[in-house]
Amino acid sequence: MQHQMMGYDRAITMFSPDGRLLQVEYAKKTVRQGSTAIGIVCSDGIVLAADKRIVDKLIVPESVEKIFEIDSHIGATAAGILSDARVLIERSQLKAQQHRVTYDAPIDIVAIVKDIGSLCQITTQSGGLRPFGVSLLVAGVDQDGTPKLFETDPTGIFFQFKATVIGEAEPEIEEILGKEYSEKMTMEDGLKLALFALNKVLDKSFNVERVDAATIPISTKRIEHVNREKLEKLLRDAKKK
**CATH code of 23's domain:** 3.60.20.10
3-state helix, strand, coil in the chain (%, to 5): 40, 25, 35
User: Rounded to an integer, what distance in angstroms lies between the CA atom of residue 213 and that of residue 113?
Assistant: 21
Which letter does DSSP use for residue 146 in this model?
A: -
Residues 19-47: tens digit of each pLDDT: 888 899 999 999 999 999 999 999 999 99
Q: Which segments of 67-108 does DSSP mark as H helices, in order? A: 82-103
Helix (H, G, I), strand (E, B) or coil at 183: coil
Cβ atoms of 113 and 138 within 8 Å: the answer is: yes
Residue 204 pLDDT > 90: no
Residue 5 pLDDT > 80: no
Contacts of 172 (CB under 8 A, 6+ apart): 197, 200, 201
When pLDDT is cut at 50, 70 and 90, the band that residue 89 belongs to is: very high
Q: How many domains does the chain have?
A: 1
**Pick from 34-43, 218-227, 232-241: least confident:** 232-241
Ramachandran quadrant class, 26 (left: phi over 0; alpha: psi -120 to 50; beta: rest): alpha
Across residues 83-105, what is the average pLDDT? 97
Domain hosting residue 53, numbered range: 3-240
What pTM, to 2 d.p., does this model score? 0.94
When pLDDT is cut at 50, 70 and 90, the band that residue 238 belongs to is: confident
Helix (H, G, I), strand (E, B) or coil at 184: coil
Residue 85 pLDDT > 60: yes
Mean pLDDT score across all residues of the chain: 92
Residue 1 pLDDT > 80: no
Residues 118-139: tens digit of each pLDDT: 999 999 998 888 999 999 999 9
What pLDDT, on a 0 to 100 scale, did the predictor assign at position 4? 55
Contacts of 232 (CB under 8 A, 6+ apart): 208
Helix (H, G, I), strand (E, B) or coil at 157: coil
Residue 55 pLDDT > 90: no
